[in-house]
Amino acid sequence: MRQKFFVLGISALIITAVIYYYFNIGLLFMAILIALLVVGFANASQHKHTILRNFPVLGYFRYLFEMIAPEIQQYFIERSTDGKPFSRNERSLVYQRAKNIDSSTPFGTQLNLNQPHYEGIKHSIFPAIVNEELPRVLIGGSDCTQPYSASLLNISAMSFGSLSENAIVALNKGAQQGKFYHNTGEGGLTQFHQQGGDICWQIGTGYFGCRDDRGGFDGGRFTEKANLPEVKMIEIKLSQGAKPGHGGVLPAAKNTVQIAKIRGVLPHTTILSPPSHSAFQDIKGLIDFIAKLRELSNGKPIGFKLCIGDTREFEMICQEMITQNCFPDFITVDGAEGGTGAAPLEFADGVGMPFEPALIFVNKTLVRFGIRDKIRIICSGKIISGYSILRAVALGADICNSARGFMFSLGCIQALRCHNNTCPTGVATQDKMLMKGLVVPDKAERVYHFHKNTLHSANELLAAAGKNSFAEVDINIFMRGDEFAHLSDLYFPDNLKSVRKH
């Protein structure tokens, strides 16, 4: 192809030159051909890119199509029920509820219900009355002197740095209006989080916001912020679902001077939080650290977040709680399918336990050790609808957190540009021009409406199942497609033999 390019290009240049010589036309076209030949020669001479070396100039089209492939897939190829991590239908549901417009759909389901993986709610022929009051759950054990009444649905951990300042401000203002909490993420508590909404302050392995000069935990700085009135809970981040065992990642392109100053690091460098904490090195140290933070915060709810890996380690944590008679007020369970702004593909695809078995395991383990009544379980893992909330509660959760659901309410279009600072909606970028597109007052309203309408949907589903409160929900209100297949195999063939036409 390289030889053909130069043969055809030089031939076209000669023909154009002859036409220009005799007819005085084609000068612009000749200039374009010369430029293309120069670029082509440079491509053919370089040793770095094989495609451009073998296909001078034409090879650029490959990079162009590769760059816009996600948009082509999303807008022209993807069906309404396709799309990963969230389908077009799921995204549209959030957009409609965030805009507070009708979210009903016409003409029936687009899903194939006659398959083993189908899941549905066993509705009652005597539905309960829909409760218009949005559900809340009290967090705080016997050692907690400042318990907190949390909404059933809240904003999951997303740091300033991963998200823009406009996105953080809009989320917190929406949380204030809807009376639910906003998890800061491990990037620290910033002025953008302090817009009047309730805060769950997350303490990660980098200790941003309570970090000493050596990068370790600073009790004095922690005490100062932990006792702010808007800080309602403190969460110790052990691991997250998208990259368990790796530590947080903030790409250099998003590490501005402002963010670096807040975090106490060098600007324009990739920030890799340590995989583990330096304030404690073992399970006993973790429980001691929980007690320490509870004391320094004057009795506010303290918990930890983790993605389940080695199940024996969680069992050992439970045993240590009992030994020390010290229990966290809550445990946040993150599934391996959780979201992130940036993660190595191997960690995102191949490390950690998925949400469903992890939540079931944690709930059953706490029950088995006889300590379930002392600890609230918060879950995080693709919570985006009233149905997913009800399902999480049925699997053992007390409270649900959502990150990407609230990102959609801000206008996220799942462009998959979170990691390179080019988010087109201004949600996951530090580019000031892109950030200006996210208008805070409008998006704060959408955050509020998404929360309210999603919980109202959960209340409607609860009533459809004939239940009056979420305390009555368990896995028995759900059915699975493989139940139908089993019934068919056992009973239908024999029954059908006796069927006669009349």
Distance, CA of 405 to CA of 382 (rounded, Å)? 8
What does the pLDDT read at residue 494? 53
Determine contact, residues 205/273, Cβ cutoff 8 Å: yes
User: Closest Cα to residue 135, out of 464, 446, 445, 393?
Assistant: 393
pLDDT value of residue 486: 57
Q: What is the dihedral of CA 430, 181, 185, 264, to 10 degrees?
A: 80
User: For 121-474, CATH number?
Assistant: 3.20.20.70
pLDDT value for 372: 96
Q: Which residues of 321-350 are buried (b: 16+ CB within 10 A; e: fewer)?
A: beeeebbbbbbbbbbbbbbbbbbeeebbee
User: Would you list the DSSP string of 142-166?
Assistant: TT-SS-EEEESEEEPP--BTTB-HH
Write the CB contacts of 492 (distance below 8 Å, at least 6 apart in sequence): none
Give 74-94 as a DSSP string: IIII--TT--SSS-HHHHHHH
Q: Is the peptide bond before 85 cis (omega within 30 degrees of 0)?
A: yes
- Interatomic CA distance for residues 163 and 55, integer angstroms: 39
Q: Hunting for tokens 């709810």 — which residue is that?
A: 301
Q: Taking the domains of the chain in order of start, what are their residue ranges?
A: 2-77, 121-474
**How far, CA to CA in Å, does 26 sit from each of 12, 29, 35, 218?**
11, 5, 14, 72
Residue ranges in 378-418 assigned as alpha helix (H): 386-395, 404-410
| SS3 label, residue 495 | helix
Q: What is the DSSP letter of 464?
A: H
Distance CA 459, CA 480 (A): 21
Tokens of 34: 């010369």
CA separation (Å) from 203 to 89, 211, 215?
A: 35, 10, 13
Nearest residue to 271 via CA among 220, 222, 219, 215: 215
Taking the C-alpha atoms of residue 154 and residue 235, their distance in angstroms, rounded to an integer, is 14
Distance of alpha carbon 157 from alpha carbon 401, whole angstroms: 8
Q: What is the full per-residue pLDDT of the chain (502 aa) written as tens digits?
A: 778 877 788 888 888 888 877 888 888 888 988 898 888 888 888 888 888 888 888 888 887 877 777 667 766 677 767 777 888 888 889 989 999 998 777 777 777 777 777 888 999 999 999 999 999 999 999 999 999 999 999 999 999 888 999 999 999 999 999 999 999 998 889 999 999 999 999 999 999 889 888 889 999 999 999 999 999 999 999 988 777 777 777 778 788 888 888 787 788 888 777 888 999 999 999 999 999 999 999 999 999 999 999 999 999 999 999 999 999 999 999 988 777 767 777 777 778 888 899 999 999 999 999 999 999 999 998 899 999 999 999 999 999 999 999 999 999 888 888 888 888 899 999 888 898 899 999 999 999 999 999 999 999 999 999 999 999 999 888 888 777 655 555 555 554 455 554 4
DSSP characters over 160-171: BTTB-HHHHHHH
- Closest C-alpha to 372, from 361, 385, 382, 358: 361
